[in-house]
A and B are shown apart, each in its own frame.
Chain A
Amino acid sequence: MMTELSLNILDVAENSVRAQATLIEIEVSADMTTDLLLIVIRDNGCGMTEEQVNAVIDPFFTTRTTRKVGLGVPFFKLAAESTGGNFTITSQKGIGTVVTATFGLSHIDRMPLGDMAATIHTLIVYHPDIDFVYRYTYGEKSFTLDTREFREILGELPLDAPDVSAYILDYLRENGNETDGGNVY
């Protein structure tokens, strides 16, 4: 099991990378009035057939050859459903995949969100050729990071250049803190 939801997000987003996505959008939204935490991971990768979509929920399905089990998606699904939430995957071959998970925000079994800044930073810096959009909402407040905006400013300078990498982490931490007031949940 993962110890925080941000690790599930990192893991599931790696599937998008392997699906040759060029754009991966990640949305995290905490809504106190409806008591829901929403997590969406959307990519424009190779997509799956209906058969494959049904199979990924099965722990004994994986496209990989190094081992016989694939636990990434089942872990995430279990994490959502054990809080009274929902979990869905929709996918279209050649178009992309959307993974949506909702969690009961105040449910006792909901794992903490964890270090989202580290997850998004790791994804961007270790996949500098892929574009990421991260949208974080907490109640009324929100912020968005869009690597396409960064790229426009940076020109030839890659997203994994040391100074740029440090800026991205600061950007995520500072704006994340301003959005949720440093609330750990």
Chain B
Amino acid sequence: MKSLEELKAIREKMQGQVGLRKESDTQTRVVVGMATCGIASGARPVLVALSDAVQKKELSNVAVIQTGCIGLCQFEPIVEVLEPGKEKVTYVKVTPEKALEIVDQHLVRGQVIGEYTISNTIN
């Protein structure tokens, strides 16, 4: 069994770093719908893929958060990207693979992937 000793070591290491990840007006928020509709369509692996990638690429200005039902159940899993001062981008029917592309293209390079957005899906 994994011991709590390791957790003590993490605390020692991280003491003094608390407050590093303060929310601010300049932060980009990536929101994943995690109600019944989202979960049933595969939102959990999408959420995990997003937060892993954001952490791995050290995008300290990006916060991955979850929300309830967005109201567009037929398009789940839905990922919304909210950048300060920009219009919200809604990605639909996201898979873990698409999520990684969103991180690379949109969050890192700032290019919206039009193909995966809701406006592209509806029109």
A174 to B70, CA, bound (A): 35
Q: Given A126-B65, A154-B11, A163-B14, answer yes or no on A170-B2 (Cβ-Cβ < 8 Å).
A: yes
Q: How far is the CB of B117 from chain A (nearest CB, A)?
A: 20
Partner of A163, one of B10, B35, B40, B51: B10
Indicate if B115 sits at the interface (CB-CB under 8 A).
no
Count class of interface residues, chain A: 35 or more
Q: Given A153-B8, A167-B6, A167-B7, answer yes or no on A75-B1 (Cβ-Cβ < 8 Å).
A: no
Partner of A149, one of B4, B44, B65: B4
CB <8 Å contact, B2 and A171: yes
Besides A64-B35, A66-B70, 15 other A-B contacts (C-beta < 8 A): A1-B40, A2-B40, A3-B40, A10-B39, A11-B35, A11-B39, A66-B69, A119-B44, A122-B47, A143-B1, A150-B4, A153-B4, A154-B11, A161-B18, A164-B10
List residues of chain A with CB within 8 A of the CB of B69: 64, 66-67
Partner of B13, one of A14, A122, A163: A163
Indicate if B119 sits at the interface (CB-CB under 8 A).
no
A156 to B18, CA, bound (A): 8
CB <8 Å contact, B44 and A64: no
Interface centre among B6, B14, B36 (most CB of A within 10 A): B36
Interface string of B52-68 (1 = CB under 8 A from A): 00010000000001101
Indicate if B15 sits at the interface (CB-CB under 8 A).
yes
CB <8 Å contact, A67 and B73: yes
Closest 5 A-B residue pairs measured CB to CB?
A: A66-B71, A72-B36, A174-B2, A66-B69, A171-B2
List residues of chain B with CB within 8 A of the CB of A75: 36, 40
Interface centre among A2, A10, A126, A178 (most CB of B within 10 A): A126
A122 to B39, CA, bound (A): 12
List residues of chain A with CB within 8 A of the CB of B68: 14, 18, 64, 66
List residues of chain A with CB within 8 A of the CB of B100: none
* A residues whose Cβ falls under 8 Å from a Cβ of B: 1-3, 7, 10-11, 14, 18, 64, 66-67, 70-72, 75, 118-119, 122, 125-126, 143, 149-150, 153-158, 161-164, 167, 170-171, 174-175, 178
Q: How far is the CB of A156 from chain B (nearest CB, A)?
A: 5
Q: How far is the CB of B68 from chain A (nearest CB, A)?
A: 7
Please list 5 pairs of residues, one from A and one from B, whose beta carbons are closer than 8 Å in the complex, sorted by A's number: A3-B40, A11-B40, A118-B45, A163-B14, A178-B1
CB <8 Å contact, A7 and B44: yes
Q: How far is the CB of B79 from chain A (nearest CB, A)?
A: 14
